[in-house]
Amino acid sequence: MDGQLDDFPVRVRVVDADRLDRDSFDPAVPLIVHGVLDRARAKWTDDWLLDRFGDDRCQVSLDSRTARRAHETQVPLARFLESMKKADGAADDVPAYLFHSSVGSDAAEDLLDDLDIPQPIVELGVPSLHRFFVGPVFSGTLPHFHTHAVNALSRGRKRWAIYEGKNARVTAALMRRSLRDFGSGSQAYDWFQSECATLRHRPMVRLWEFVQEAGDLVYIPGGLIHAVVNLAPVVGFTVEFEPEEAALEPIAVGAGQRAARGPWSAGPRLPGPRLPGPRFPGPRLPGLRPGVRNPRASWYRGGI
């Protein structure tokens, strides 16, 4: 970790929440939206979070494939927040990322009430799951994809890379490569330092890179591959949506149901091997083979 992580060419559309209308919204393009979290930021204090999650044990991941079980442990939120305070923002060699998922639309709806998400985004589908995250600097999430989603950052800073191939074959190859080279035990900061820049000049790749500041909402189109590294300690929520039935179409899946839902997805939430939108490539993913690339993380093989 050499501190070079926030030096990169920024490319993203930024818009104020009250300026995003149906005509100006392209659901296939990532967005930063300002002015969505004003109420949420005042409300989502540590006390409120502790109240909401009580003594529940939250999912904490020690690698950046946060939806997998391989390097996951369960920790009460109070203990996790305490350990973050003790570290006082200092970077750990192996950052622990609290990334707690809840399936179902009621709890997600309740959370969405705190956000002023522009109507054209809301209309795209129904919330299917949400994830609460708290993480130290250099925690993050390796490339993955799912249905369209929003990420509401209450505190901290996140660097993003969102990308796709110009056709289905290239997108599938990009995803395979990430799974092959950054398997179980890997960290997102390594991907950003060594891989991200290699995507910039590839003619068959479309890439958006940017930093999300506290108070920003990021919109992630369905089926686009994305990765995140936290540049400061973070708190926030991400919500995934199921597209309206009309937008669903079956896709060709070679690697079983798990691949059909995407390597990221945690729960049985899509109604079968389907993914959103006509632009989704339907990649044929390889078996999800662990291949520890980051030597620092190899001790995870022993299991947690």
Ligand X SMILES: O=C(O)CCC(=O)C(=O)O
Catalog residues that contact ligand X under the rule CB under 6 A. 133, 140-141, 149, 151, 158, 220, 226, 228, 238
Nearer to ligand X, 61 or 184 (CB): 61
Nearer to ligand X, 69 or 169 (CB): 69
Least distance between ligand X and beta carbon 220 (Å)? 6
Nearer to ligand X, 211 or 254 (CB): 211
3-state secondary structure 225-274: EEEEEECCCEEEEEEEEEECHHHEEECCCCCHHHHHCCCCCCCCCCCCCE
β-strand 217-220 against 225-230: which pairing, if any? unpaired
CA dist 138 to 154, 157, 197, Å?
17, 10, 18
Nearer to ligand X, 184 or 265 (CB): 265
Nearer to ligand X, 64 or 294 (CB): 64
Strands (E), 140-250: 140-144, 149-155, 157-165, 205-213, 217-220, 225-230, 234-243, 248-250
Least distance between ligand X and beta carbon 140 (Å)? 5
CA dist 163 to 190, 196, 301, Å?
17, 10, 30
Least distance between ligand X and beta carbon 302 (Å)? 25
Least distance between ligand X and beta carbon 158 (Å)? 6
Least distance between ligand X and beta carbon 85 (Å)? 20
Is the alpha carbon torsion for 178, 191, 102, 97 positive or negative? Answer: positive
Of 158, 144, 125, the residue nearest 244 (C-alpha): 125
Least distance between ligand X and beta carbon 188 (Å)? 8
| CB-nearest residue to ligand X | 238
Token look-up 């798990």 returns: 258
Nearer to ligand X, 171 or 238 (CB): 238
